[in-house]
Structure 1
Amino acid sequence: MDPIAVGYISVIALFVCLALGIPVAVAMGGVGIVGMYLAVGDLFVTGQLRSLPFATVNEYGLAVLPMFVLMGVLAEASGITTELFKTADMWLRRFRGGLYQAVIIGSATFAAISGSTTVNAVVFTRIAFPQMIKFGYSRSLSIGAIAGAGSFAAMIPPSITMVIYAIMTEQSVGQLLIAGVIPGLLTAVVYLAGIYVLVRLKPSLAPEITSVVSLQERWSALGRIWPIVVLIMLVFGGIYSGIFPPSAAGAAGAAGAFVFALFRMKSLRGWLVPALQDAAFISCIIFLILIGGLLLSRMLVVTGVIDELVILITSVADTPLKFMIMASILYLVLGCFLDTTSMMVVTLPFLFPVVLALDIDPIWFGIVLVKLIEISVITPPVGINLFAVMGAVGNQATFGDVYKGVFPFILFDLIVLVFLILFPELATWLPQTMIDG
């Protein structure tokens, strides 16, 4: 069979498998193996199966993934996150809608020690949602704020999403992580401003202020979140200053989180084993999806599909701006149906060669892609953060509440997306000031 025909049939088969609900890693890996077998024979397939899985999990750069996951899990298990939310609440309680603001600031801060959007969303649902309902906040907007702010973990370093992008496109992990700082903070500021405007336009979204926390209590609460500040400085400062590479920064962060957890919990019993199990489970799923996606990518390359698609896309989107707009529309649509890691692994083999052909800065494209992924995790019907929040709230809310509450935050993210496309310097300036390690 003609290799090109095999490639296109394989792409169709992949989407059929995804529509049937076959796990993404299995679908991509299976389609890639069968496609390579039909196009170039069993010897090539055997060689890939012998070398690619081991080469992927043995990649030193990917060591940062389980370390970042472990750091976030240990920080949550130690109760640091609860203290973070309480502190933000105390400082913002004097403002109407302060709990919304506390969720946003708390999530943005926790994102700096957790690379998972799902973990962020679940943690703050457990901590913040009961309090928000207790004090009379809007049920739907509370859920929307938690789900939307949970997406910060995709952009603010350490970000698992950025590490996967860097590995797949052979870019600097450190530069990508640092590039997410300004866009991440910009997103948080837009969220805060948007909530402020919403509450002023519709006061019923938040209760009237009934209690005031003294300045002494606020400063005392601030003193209890110093472990988070230390972890942020350890990871972010180490990468930015070049003291150690991202992989070592992940290990240092995980070790620091373990020490703080041990200090707070006094004993290993009851929390360490579940935390390690959660970190291992999340990491294994990510690695399986990566291996499946790389098998698919090899198939697309050897069949010649990639070369044809590059020519086709560059003939339609012949300028960087046109391509960025086209890619944005594609990811916004795909985000309604695919989870984030799968969406990135499936599409990058097609789109990244076009990025290089059009001489687009890979760091800028990566940040725009991550912003689109942030939007996708809160986009119905398959936004993973929506399911994470719904699973955590149980029967206290409906999907109607979720869809209604998350809509304003999708609009806020689209505003940030426009800024990132029009002003690439928001993503590229900070990495250029880094000290190489």
Structure 2
Amino acid sequence: MDALIALLLIVLMLVVLGSGLWIGLSLLGVAVFAMQTFSSRPVGDAMVLTIWGSTSSWTLTALPLFLWMGEILFRTKLSEGMFRGLAPWLNRLPGRLLHINVIGCAIFAAVSGSSAATCATIGKITLPELKKRGYPDHMAIGTLSGAGTLGLLIPPSIIMIVYGVAANVSIAKLFMAGVLPGILLALVFMGYIVVWALRHPDQVPAAEASLGFWAKVYEGRHLIPVVLLIALVLGSIYSGLATATEAAALGVAGSLALAAVEGSLNWQRFVEGLSASVRVYCMIGLILAGASFLTLAMGFIGLPRHLAEFIGGLGLSPFVLMLSLVLFFIVLGCFLDGISMVVLTMAVLLPTVEKAGFDLVWFGIFIVLVVEMAQITPPVGFNLFVLQGLTQREITWLARVSMPLFWLMVGFVLLVYFIPGIVTWLPSQMQ
């Protein structure tokens, strides 16, 4: 019965999204149908309370602030300066400036802890510059889609905090465990760009004039404003002086100050940047509201719990259990956001996971990785929605160009399974 309900809701989701209805409203519509049809819980008050709770969180305030910071960088010379400073160093690397997507997302992931904020902010900076320089859209957008998921893996990560509380695991150890896999996954993405560039040299724009070492260092002066901004945001978080939300506000203030100093900020650009960030956040906020209500509906139906109990009762070997959980969370990602997946399933899955002999710190990073994969799989791949708002591309096209990165993450999950030390070595050094 649960399988039939899941299939029905997937088909309904695809039909509604295919009709052209806004994504957030599509999620709300499917949630209303699910609650009305399969639950006795009244819809009205549940919808109001859920939407208010999901959109009024103080932690969520960091998202529009980081979006605004990205809009400021996009509309001033700061983003152009970042490209000018990095370009000479990347000239000899196959793929050249495409690597800025991965490098930028890896750096910003350590600031925001949010996949959506990472994808939206870096996308605002890099996509226009890459298009202007002649890089193919499918690679620029596809690599951004995959690299944006690093926002969940490189600490600080909200999902790691939620898992740590649910599984009674040290959050500090989880943060340490995410560092090495995050760096390695970023290198995997860069390796994919290198391989693609070597196979399609005709699609990579010609290198800019080759410079000597000291000339490269001199060009690197254009990176100083961006480095100062990153140091301000990261330093305030890791020194304990500011929360992520307060650091986002510092980032906005710092980007405004830098733009004013270099003379590229005027009133028109200020208003345009603020308006654009509000529009993008409203799009993301509506999706969050719809996803939260769909999560509530799934919880009342009991679908995640029943599916988790079914997997737990199969008596699978550790490897088959791991593969089953990958498939389970990817399917669950068609309906729920990452945090909701963790909250709704951990109580049921953890006894099975412990019985199978999985280290709970390792399992936390495994969960983050499979949730990352769900971020770029339709119909509810959150990064795909963010990119759709940025690029106005069809969701099917975005999913197609993101698929190579998805399969790289599948391979990386297998690597982490067979070499668990990638995750557990760094936390084991903590006393």
- TM-score, normalised relative to structure 2: 0.72
Q: How far is 1:90 from its partner?
A: 1.0
Query: 1:51-78: CA deviations, max 9, x gaps?
Result: 3333333322222222232232322223
* CA 1:391–1:234: 2 relative to 1, 3 Å: same
Partner of 1:18: 14
Q: How far is 1:391 from its partner?
A: 5.6
Q: Which amino acid aligns with 2:370?
A: L
- Asked if 1:189 is matched to 2:157, the reply is no
Contact 1:118 1:150 in 2 (8 A): no
1:208-287 equivalent positions in 2, closer than 5 A? 211-287=209-285
Partner of 1:417: 413
Partner of 1:364: 365
Output the aligned Cα RMSD: 4.7
Contact 1:14 1:27 in 2 (8 A): no
Contact 1:297 1:349 in 2 (8 A): no
Gaps of 5+ in 1: 134-138, 393-398
Partner Cα separation in structure 2 for residue 250 and residue 375 of structure 1: 25
* CA 1:102–1:321: 2 relative to 1, 3 Å: same
* CA 1:28–1:408: 2 relative to 1, 3 Å: closer
Partner Cα separation in structure 2 for residue 261 and residue 221 of structure 1: 19
* CA 1:254–1:267: 2 relative to 1, 3 Å: closer
Q: How far is 1:113 from its partner?
A: 6.0
Of the structure 1 ranges 258-267 and 199-208, higher mean CA displacement relative to structure 2 is found in 199-208
Partner Cα separation in structure 2 for residue 227 and residue 174 of structure 1: 31
Identity across aligned pairs (percent)? 22
Q: How far is 1:88 from its partner?
A: 1.7
* CA 1:310–1:376: 2 relative to 1, 3 Å: closer
Contact 1:36 1:299 in 2 (8 A): yes
Query: 1:386-418: CA deviations, max 9, x gaps?
Result: 8689769xxxxxx79x96x87765554444333
Partner of 2:122: 120
Partner of 2:86: 88
Aligned-partner SS, 2:25 = helix
- TM-score, normalised relative to structure 1: 0.72
Q: Which amino acid aligns with 1:73?
A: E
Contact 1:176 1:367 in 2 (8 A): no
Partner Cα separation in structure 2 for residue 267 and residue 206 of structure 1: 32
Q: Which amino acid aligns with 1:184?
A: G
Given the alignment, which residue of 121, 139, 147 partners 1:144? 139
Of the structure 1 ranges 361-370 and 275-284, higher mean CA displacement relative to structure 2 is found in 361-370
Given the alignment, which residue of 324, 327, 333 partners 1:326? 324
Of the structure 1 ranges 325-334 and 75-84, higher mean CA displacement relative to structure 2 is found in 325-334
Contact 1:176 1:363 in 2 (8 A): yes
Given the alignment, which residue of 144, 153, 171 partners 2:148? 153
Aligned-partner SS, 2:229 = helix
* CA 1:410–1:368: 2 relative to 1, 3 Å: closer
Contact 2:160 2:175 in 1 (8 A): no
Given the alignment, which residue of 304, 311, 314 partners 1:313? 311
Partner Cα separation in structure 1 for residue 33 and residue 94 of structure 2: 58
Query: 1:97-145: CA deviations, max 9, x gaps?
Result: 5444455445544665673425534643321244356xxxxx5xx7425
Partner of 2:357: none
Give the number of equivalent residue pairs: 410
Aligned-partner SS, 2:267 = coil
Gaps of 5+ in 2: 355-359
Q: How far is 1:155 from its partner?
A: 0.9
* CA 1:334–1:92: 2 relative to 1, 3 Å: same
Contact 1:83 1:224 in 2 (8 A): yes
Partner Cα separation in structure 2 for residue 251 and residue 347 of structure 1: 29
Partner Cα separation in structure 2 for residue 184 and residue 284 of structure 1: 29
